[in-house]
Amino acid sequence: MSHADDHYYVPHGSHWPIVGSIGLLFLMVGVSTWLNGAEAGFWVMLTGVAVVVFMLIGWFTTVIGESQGGLYNAQVDKSFRMGMFWFIFSEVMFFAAFFGALFYARNMSIPWLGGSSNNFFTNLLLWEGYESTWPTNGPGDVGGEFEVMPPFGLPLINTAILLTSSVTVTIAHHSLLAGKRGILTTFLALTFILGFAFVFLQAAEYVEAYEHMNLKLTTGIYGSTFFMLTGFHGMHVTIGAIMLTIIWLRVVKGHFTPDKHFAFEAVAWYWHFVDVVWIGLYVFVYWI
């Protein structure tokens, strides 16, 4: 515990949190009423999204302004870093729930439906003739005949893209530390371009799955785990790519110095996190 300054820094009050709460209220009420079948709910939801986006822009603008204004000492910087680390940890646990569902289905519930362990009568009386396999849409053939997404081809290209982007963001980081702004700008741009390319290809994969393979969210447990895992991952890649873009814009404006660049590192950590999740996805969802 060493302090650059002897005075602590405490930020002034802010109206952004309460704006965020109001946004969340509209968002949650809107989406709920919409799911219950009320058309108007959709517009309430969009209002909520707009307020939340407005809040995010406002809040981050304030914080970036304060950071550029030199208000934050080393201790604040460290708080931000720790906060980001624990936030990413919470995200890891969110994905863990869905990976857990995948492993449970593959190793427990599907073999049991097929009569393994002490479930002979489950199979005989409820699901006669069902043999457990993976991938499967279950003994009820929920969603009908489907094709399995092959691991080689587009998903492999996407793996290469994401791994490459992890390298480019690391090169950008090293350039930032070495003060080479040109290389930093180029490689950071390359990173978010690769990120958006990943999202684009993922979307193409989904179109292919829905239109030609009859592989949908409704395709039993395989479709559920496939789309929920890759979907949440894709959402995180999108968020990450947007964050990278914002960081890039800040780099272009001349923000960040070799010893003060928390936001850059936070985004880079986040980017590595989506990368690692993807490796897990590629191995357990597509490949094995």
Unique residue bearing structure tokens 């895992």: 229
Cβ count within 10 A of residue 54: 14
Instruction: Choose between 7 and 212: whose C-beta lies nearer to another protein.
Output: 7
| Residues contacting another protein: total by CB under 8 A | 81
Integer Cα distance of 228 and 222 in angstroms:
10
Among 42, 66, 272, 280, binds another protein (CB under 8 A): 66
User: At closest approach, how far in Å is the CB of 107 from another protein?
Assistant: 11
| Cβ atoms of residues 91 and 236 within 8 Å | yes
Cα-Cα-Cα-Cα dihedral sign, residues 143, 108, 274, 170: negative
CA distance readout (Å), 191 to 159, 166, 187, 232: 14, 7, 6, 20
Amino acid symbol at 20: G
Interface with another protein by CB under 8 A: which range of 71-79, 160-168, 189-197, 252-260? 71-79
Among 40, 43, 53, 100, binds another protein (CB under 8 A): 100
* Contacts to another protein from residues 209-268, by CB under 8 A: 216-218, 220-225, 227-228
**Please, where are the H alpha helices in the chain?**
16-35, 40-68, 74-104, 110-113, 120-121, 154-178, 181-212, 220-252, 262-281
Cβ count within 10 A of residue 29: 15
User: At closest approach, how far in Å is the CB of 16 from another protein?
Assistant: 7
Among 40, 53, 89, 252, binds another protein (CB under 8 A): 89
Instruction: Choose between 2 and 259: whose C-beta lies nearer to another protein.
Output: 2
Interface with another protein by CB under 8 A: which range of 86-94, 197-205, 256-264, 276-284? 86-94
User: At closest approach, how far in Å is the CB of 120 from another protein?
Assistant: 14
* Contacts to another protein from residues 106-125, by CB under 8 A: 108-110, 112-113, 117-118
Instruction: Choose between 201 and 228: whose C-beta lies nearer to another protein.
Output: 228
User: At closest approach, how far in Å is the CB of 105 from another protein?
Assistant: 6
Please work out, in degrees rounded to the nearest 5, the angle formed at the alpha carbon of residue 150 by the alpha carbons of 144 and 156: 145
Between 132 and 171, how does the x/- string for binding to another protein read (CB under 8 A)?
A: ----xxxxx-xx----------------------------
User: At closest approach, how far in Å is the CB of 229 from another protein?
Assistant: 11
Cα-Cα-Cα-Cα dihedral sign, residues 153, 159, 164, 169: positive
* Contacts to another protein from residues 16-45, by CB under 8 A: 16-18, 20-22, 24-25, 28-29, 31-32, 35-36
Amino acid symbol at 277: V
Among 90, 128, 182, 254, binds another protein (CB under 8 A): 90
Structure-token pair, residue 75:
């201790």
